[in-house]
Amino acid sequence: MADAEWKSLEECLEKHLPLPDLQEVKRVLYGKELRKLDLPREAFEAASREDFELQGYAFEAAEEQLRRPRIVHVGLVQNRTPLPADAPVAEQVSALHRRIKAIVEVAAMCGVNIICFQEAWTMPFAFCTREKLPWTEFAESAEDGPTTRFCQKLAKNHDMVVVSPILERDSEHGDVLWNTAVVISNSGAVLGKTRKNHIPRVGDFNESTYYMEGNLGHPVFQTQFGRISVNICYGRHHPLNWLMYSINGAEIIFNPSATIGALSESLWPIEARNAAIANHCFTCAINRVGTEHFPNEFTSGDGKKAHQDFGYFYGSSYVAAPDGSRTPGLSRSQDGLLVAKLDLNLCQQVNDVWNFKMTGRYEMYARELAEAVKPNYRPTIVKE
Ligand SMILES: NC(=O)NCCC(=O)O
């Protein structure tokens, strides 16, 4: 499995394919070619000073007579953990706050209206260790923890909606931990929170040791810039999870993730893109980068030797549109900010062409699923 040296699929294709072939490959792999955004020079200079990649693309929609374009700029952030996982907890959190602040400042220069960080962005992805301390110390209140207060300042200063996925400690309900995304309005107020509905039980993703399956359903947040929701990481393998956010009216679904190459890199380009197509909405897939080393060895339950790292988080964050077009991915190895200009009118325009909501037969599935989950259900198998 390639590590940091293999920068991205896009770079590889561009290096090796003659132009006419490259154009056809991009047409098939990415839908129509997107216009690059003309981002400010100062933004590129700041990104280069701060050592992160900056890319920007525009998704266009057809002009309509009755509706004006509904333009929104989204920002997707992928990053490494700047300090080693054995540094003091408070120092790791502060270093991440500083890193994100620098990236958000560049996003503001690029006119970003809604920004989303990676899953559990304030901590190393330590769930593979199955140890409790110090990792549970990274959990914070979604309503008024230090990270939420930090994000409220960012949101207000930059007039930007901030989606902040954290490990939540809910002290109102017996100190239960959750994998939560806090949505902060551009006014600086906490608009609400949403929790990861599906918990992985795959490979080293031993996350059920730490937090419970989300109990908040599929909330959609009405922001000044459009209706958004958050499908956290492993939820992207569950088409019904995407569907319910979409049924509740989401126009943009963020998918903040933490996933590694050996497990999911071949699924990554397909899943969020397919969800955008199937649900007539935009999807934003975000993954962290780098390899995180933990102080103590752990095993993976696969007969192999104990080890201290999780594998390689391959970045590759991207945005997909309801017409199936998508941006190239950010790098597999570098911190990055991806800016995408969306015209939300595209959601309804594609809906009117493909009519997946109209042809979805949800009442039939509701009926059949209600039967299928009953303990005495017998699958309908017709035999000779
Ligand atoms: N964080 C998380 O849910 N990872 C699970 C692995 C995957 O979904 O690719």
DSSP states along 66-120: SS---EEEEEEEE---SS-TTS-HHHHHHHHHHHHHHHHHHHHHTT-SEEEPPTT
Is residue 272 assigned to a domain? Answer: yes
Residue 354 lies in a domain: yes
ipTM of the complex: 0.98
User: Going by CA atoms, what residue is nearest to atom 5 of ligand 1?
Assistant: 234
CATH of the domain at 197: 3.60.110.10
Amino acid occupying residue 205: F
Ligand 1 pocket check for 170: Cβ under 6 Å: no
DSSP-derived 3-state class of residue 261: helix
Cα–Cα distance measured from residue 269 to residue 255, given in angstroms and rounded to the nearest whole number: 12
Residue of 338, 292, 289 whose CA lies nearest to 314:
289
3-state helix, strand, coil in the chain (%, to 5): 35, 25, 40
Distance 271 CA to ligand 1 centre (A): 12
Domain-embedded: residue 15: no
Query: In the prediction, which pLDDT does 261 show?
Result: 87
Strands 226-230 and 252-257: parallel
Using 50 as the pLDDT threshold, list the residues of the chain that sit under it.
none
Check residue 297 and give its pLDDT. Answer: 95
- Decide: residue 192, CB within 10 A, 0-12 exposed, 13-18 middle, 19+ buried: middle
250 φ/ψ angles, rounded to the nearest 5 degrees: -65, 135
The answer to whether residue 232 sits within a structural domain is yes
Identify the CA nearest to 340 among candidates 350, 348, 330. 330
Number of domains in the chain: 1
- Three-class SS of residue 3? coil
Tens of pLDDT, residue by residue over 134-165, are 999 999 999 999 999 999 999 999 999 999 99
* Sequential DSSP letters for 4-39: TTS--HHHHHHHHS-HHHHHHHHHHHHSSPPEEP--
Tokens of 355: 């009519």
What CA–CA distance (Å, rounded) separates 198 from 210? 13
Place of tokens 């549970």: 136
- Its domain, for residue 101, covers 36-373
pLDDT digits (tens, 9 = 90+) for 60-115: 999 999 999 999 999 999 999 999 999 999 999 999 999 999 999 999 999 999 99
Helix, coil or strand: residue 380: coil
As to burial, measured by CB atoms within 10 angstroms (0-12 exposed, 13-18 middle, 19+ buried), residue 77 is: buried
Determine whether 196 is an active site residue: yes
Angle between helices 89-109 and 146-158 (to 10 degrees): 10
CA 197 vs. chain centroid, Å, equals 14
Question: Does a structural domain hold residue 366?
Answer: yes
Structure tokens at 29: 């792999």
C-alpha neighbours within 13 Å on the C-beta side of residue 333: 9
Q: Give me ligand 1 centre to Cα 183, in Å.
A: 21
User: Could you tell me if the CB of 259 is within 6 A of ligand 1?
Assistant: yes
Number of residues in the chain: 384
Ligand 1, atom 6, lies closest to the CA of 259
The pLDDT score that the predictor gives to residue 1 is 62
Q: Is residue 202 part of a domain?
A: yes
The CA 110 to ligand 1 mean position distance, Å, reads 30
Rg of the chain in Å (alpha carbons) = 21
By C-alpha distance, which of 70, 96, 3, 92 is closest to 310? 3
Which of 10, 140, 168, 196 is catalytic? The answer is 196
Residue 382, in any domain of the structure: no
